[in-house]
């Protein structure tokens, strides 16, 4: 039964991920990305990580993708061919990713992965487990990640800020 | 195999019952809204169909059912059909985790059944938030697929509004989660038993009264109701994202809006006002010896609380004018968000100190 579900979710994820880049209409791409996010959440549920599944849907499908859709609709990319056939950019991103993937694959074949601290998720509350791990073992990476997000936020504000013309004080 | 199929049958029956009640509530709401608005504005409201117009929802339903289904020229047909479904399904699916009555089990055909909740999952609150955020897609895609400027503007406004206020809804709930230590709506409701001073709006050590106000205002904004109904502002955008819709497709958007109202009212009642718990310890029916009928009182209190919220929605609509768009955004980000964040900090500190001295 588990294998059946995994096969279904993995298959749909792979298919929709390809469709995201294959569709010419960016709104269809966004929709297949939405389906992909849902199936990733489904994969988390089969692993008994319900909290992660819910957060996956709330953050990615509920917030980030809606913003994407927002931008796509405002730009009206349907008639704009500027963003299609970006082979050079694709190679620039895809090349390093492929090498990284191969290195990781070779590494995992050579040595078994270091045992991560295990929590009994079957019996316990997995929200509690994630919270405790995040604020003890992985506290530093967690804080660094939030700092990176803060920097990105400041960057967005700086880019979007307009000079306010000087007005006489009233 | 028979046990599995029996279980499936019971679940389906529960789902059908909840769906039926929700649809019935939506029908009542369409009439109640027009009646309440009428009385508040010193009118009679609908009076033609049946005595005092009580059959009006059936007439409206028949009218919508037999209307011509128009797809505008140049519209994206696939998306145009998909959007109402995407709006309706998330609005309905959230009811799966709402506890409508006492958390008791009954034995039926050798199985244990919880009659008043379809599914008690351990992330109930997050489940509702997740599907509430999916509801935005129906509105955005409906606006985009209509191939109309008004619809598109309505859809985009709605996207921005839902993202902004969803954040506040989520943050307002966090205070309750800190106090209850659980994400399951059933457990949260159970923790509030024993009188109104245990409800999380008033509960010691950190009354969630500010969170409650933030939640209610943000919930009104998230369901696109007056005074936050900018996505369908008829004086500016004809009818917003569903300008081009007619017949049953329009009805889907309409039902989704009302089902969302019922859903946010249920969540508000369960999280802040004790759900099905009566405002006094125990139940009167249990005190006078009718222990097995105590659930009736629980369900009745839940209904009263939910309808109280729904009345508030109508009241706001009759009272307040629509906000301007920049006011809406400023209010969401500069007033609601800081209050919700401050509430989390205060609640966390209060709970920490309380647990130290317990």
Which CATH number do you get for residue A38?
Answer: 1.20.120.1200
Report chain B residues touching chain A, CB-CB < 8 A. 76, 79, 121-123, 126-127, 129-134, 136-137, 140-141, 144, 152, 155-156, 159-160, 162-163, 166, 170, 182-183
Mutate to test the interface with A, among B82, B94, B96, B134 (most CBs of A within 10 A): B134
**Subunit contact B134:A61, Cβ cutoff 8 A:** yes
In a domain, A38, yes or no: yes
The answer to whether residues B347 and B172 touch, using CB atoms and an 8 Å cutoff, is: no
pLDDT at B281: 77
Residue of A50, A58, A73 with shortest CB distance to B129: A58
Residue B5 to residues B9, B11, B97: CA-CA distances in angstroms?
A: 6, 10, 22
pLDDT tier for residue A101 given thresholds of 50, 70 and 90: confident
Q: Which of A62, A67, A127 comes nearest B130 by C-beta?
A: A62
DSSP-based three-state secondary structure for B113: strand
Q: Which residue has the higher pLDDT, B64 or A163?
A: B64
A61 CB near a chain B CB, below 8 Å?
A: yes
Give the pLDDT band (50/70/90) at residue A154.
Answer: very high
Helix (H, G, I), strand (E, B) or coil at B107: strand
- Mean pLDDT taken over chain A: 80
Given pLDDT bands bounded at 50, 70 and 90, which one contains residue B161? confident
Q: Parallel, antiparallel, or unpaired: how do β-strands B106-108 and B111-113 relate?
A: antiparallel
Chain A residue with CA closest to B83: the answer is A31
Which of A78, A102, A133 terminates a domain? The answer is A78
Helix (H) or strand (E) holding B112: strand B111-113
Tell which of A24, A47, A78 closes a domain: A78
With a cut of 60, say whether residue A51 has pLDDT above it: yes
- Check residue B1 and give its pLDDT: 60
User: Does A168 score more than 60 pLDDT?
Assistant: yes
**Residue A98 covered by a domain:** no
Is residue A108's pLDDT more than 80? no
Instruction: State the angle between helix axes of B149-180 and A65-75 in degrees (0 to 180), rounded to the nearest 10.
Output: 170
Q: Kindly state whether residue A156 falls inside one of the protein's structural domains.
A: yes
Residue A124, Cβ neighbours under 10 Å: how many? 11
- Interface with chain A: mutation pick from B137, B161, B329, highest number of A CBs within 10 Å: B137
> Which residue does chain B place closest to A69, by CA atoms?
B140
Q: Which tens digits make up the pLDDT trace of B201-211?
A: 777 777 888 88
Q: Is the dihedral of CA B134, B136, B138, B141 positive or negative?
A: negative
What's the mean per-residue pLDDT of chain B?
Answer: 82
> What residue spans define the domains of chain B?
68-357
Interface test with A, best of B4, B83, B130, B141 (most A CBs within 10 A): B130
A83 lies in a domain?
no
pLDDT at A78: 55
* Same structural domain, A7 and A72: yes
Please report residues of A whose CB lies closer than 8 A to that of B162. Answer: 66
Same domain as A133, residue A70: no
Closest CA relative to residue A39, chosen from A73, A21, A65, A12: A12
Q: Residue A152 has what pLDDT?
A: 92
Q: Is residue A145 part of a domain?
A: yes
How far away is chain B from the Cα of A151, in angstroms, using its nearest Cα? 19
Residues of chain B with C-beta less than 8 angstroms from the C-beta of A50: 121-123
Residues of A in contact with B188 (CB under 8 A): none
Number of domains chain A contains: 2
Range of the domain at A41: 1-78
Which member of B122, B130, B136 has the closest CB to residue A57?
B130
CB contact under 8 A, B160 and A69: no
Of A51, A57, A73, the CB nearest to B152: A73
ipTM of the predicted structure? 0.77
A9, part of any domain:
yes
Confidence category of residue A82, pLDDT binned at 50, 70, 90: low
- Give the pLDDT of residue A147: 93
Last residue of a domain, one of A78, A100, A128: A78
Asked if A64 has any chain B CB less than 8 Å from its own CB, the reply is: no
Q: Which DSSP string corresponds to B196-226?
A: GGGSTTT-SSS--HHHHHHHHHHHHHHTT-T
Within 8 A of A34 by CB-CB distance, chain B residues are: 137
């Amino acid at each position: 039964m588990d294998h059946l579900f995994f096969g279904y979710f993995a298959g749909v994820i792979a298919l929709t991920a390809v469709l995201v880049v294959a569709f010419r209409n960016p709104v269809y791409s966004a929709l297949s990305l939405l389906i992909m996010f849902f199936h990733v959440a489904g994969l988390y549920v089969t692993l008994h990580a319900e909290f992660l599944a819910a957060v996956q849907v709330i953050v990615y499908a509920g917030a980030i993708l809606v913003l994407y859709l927002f931008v796509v609709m405002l730009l009206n990319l349907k008639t704009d061919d500027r963003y299609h056939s970006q082979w050079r950019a694709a190679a620039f991103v895809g090349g390093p990713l492929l090498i990284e993937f191969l290195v990781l694959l070779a590494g995992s074949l050579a040595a078994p992965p270091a045992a991560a601290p295990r929590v009994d998720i079957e019996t316990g509350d997995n929200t509690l487990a994630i919270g405790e791990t995040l604020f003890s073992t992985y506290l530093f990476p967690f804080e660094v990640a939030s700092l990176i997000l803060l920097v990105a936020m400041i960057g967005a504000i700086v880019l979007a800020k307009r000079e306010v013309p000087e007005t006489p004080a009233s | 195999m028979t046990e599995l199929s029996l279980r499936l049958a019971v679940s389906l029956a529960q789902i059908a019952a909840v769906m039926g009640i929700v649809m019935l509530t939506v029908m009542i709401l369409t009439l109640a809204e027009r009646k309440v608005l009428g009385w508040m504005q010193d009118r009679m409201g609908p009076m033609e169909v049946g005595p005092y117009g009580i059959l009006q929802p059936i007439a409206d339903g028949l009218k919508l059912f037999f209307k011509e289904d128009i797809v505008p020229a140049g519209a994206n047909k696939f998306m145009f059909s998909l959007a109402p479904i995407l709006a309706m399904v998330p609005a309905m699916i959230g009811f799966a985790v709402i506890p409508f009555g006492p958390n008791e089990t009954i034995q039926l055909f050798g199985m244990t059944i919880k009659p008043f909740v379809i599914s008690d999952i351990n992330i109930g609150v997050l489940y509702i938030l997740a599907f509430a955020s999916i509801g935005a897609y129906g509105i955005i895609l409906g606006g985009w697929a209509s191939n109309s400027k008004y619809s598109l503007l309505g859809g985009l406004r709605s996207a921005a509004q839902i993202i902004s206020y969803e954040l506040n809804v989520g943050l307002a709930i966090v205070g309750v989660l800190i106090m209850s230590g659980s994400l399951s709506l059933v457990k949260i409701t159970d923790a509030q038993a024993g009188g109104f001073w245990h409800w999380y709006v008033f509960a010691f050590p950190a009354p969630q009264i500010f969170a409650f106000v933030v939640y209610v205002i943000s919930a009104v904004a998230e369901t696109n109701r007056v005074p936050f109904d900018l996505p369908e502002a008829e004086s500016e955008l004809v009818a917003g994202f569903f300008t081009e819709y007619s017949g049953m497709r329009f009805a889907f958007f309409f039902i989704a809006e009302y089902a969302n109202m019922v859903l946010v009212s249920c969540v508000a009642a369960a999280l802040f006002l004790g759900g099905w718990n009566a405002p006094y310890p125990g139940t009167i029916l249990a005190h006078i010896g009718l222990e097995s009928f105590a659930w009736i009182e629980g369900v009745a209190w839940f209904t009263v609380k939910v309808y109280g919220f729904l009345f508030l929605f109508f009241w706001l609509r009759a009272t307040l004018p629509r906000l301007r768009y920049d006011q809406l955004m400023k209010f969401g980000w500069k007033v609601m968000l800081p209050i919700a964040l401050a509430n989390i900090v205060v609640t966390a500190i209060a709970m920490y100190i309380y647990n130290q001295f317990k």
